[in-house]
Amino acid sequence: MFFMKTAPALAAGCTIILKPAEQTPLSALYYAHLAKRAGIPDGVLNVVNGHGHTTGAAISSHMDIDKVTFTGSTEVGRKIMMAAAASNLKPVSLELGGKSPLLIFDDADIDQAADIAFRGMFFNKGEICVASSRDFVQEGIYEKLENKLVEKAKATIVGDPFDPKVH
């Protein structure tokens, strides 16, 4: 998520204020540390920790912030849009609710499609906003793909993440 948000902005020459989810701030702080070590000047990439209802609200309504991008719930997305409109009418980009679809057509390579569909849902335990949690499969290959996915699920070993045999 950090790189999906920061890389395009940095490439365009923008400065960034990034507020990570309050439950997971450490990776963003570490990546910002690495960016500083790589030569990103002070003030270009800023990580601000805090809760959404305080820190996020301050970012959304701040008159000197020119754009907000947010990934999360529809409820919070609405609040961000209202705060952005009430302040300086800043543009807002929202990724809300997840449920990213994956379309698989009859001419797909079944093995590759099964691999993509499986990884798309179970990568990072499915805890990712772009998890392909809705697969739309054309009728002609539905059963064949379903069987491949069942095989993959049965072969998956669940357990201690530090065990090298665990997927």
Q: Which residues are catalytic?
A: 95
Which residues, including other chains, have CB under 8 Å from residue 27's CB and lie 6 or more apart?
2, 20
> Looking only at Cα atoms, what is the longest distance across the chain?
56
Give the other-Cβ count within 10 Å of 5's Cβ. 18
Q: Are 119 and 87 in contact (CB under 8 A)?
A: no
Alpha carbon separation from 20 to 93, 99, 141, 152 (Å, rounded): 16, 21, 41, 33
CA proximity to 146, closest of 6, 131, 22, 154: 154
Which residues, including other chains, have CB under 8 Å from residue 151's CB and lie 6 or more apart?
none
Residue 62 one-letter amino acid: H
Instruction: Indicate the DSSP class of residue 42.
Output: T
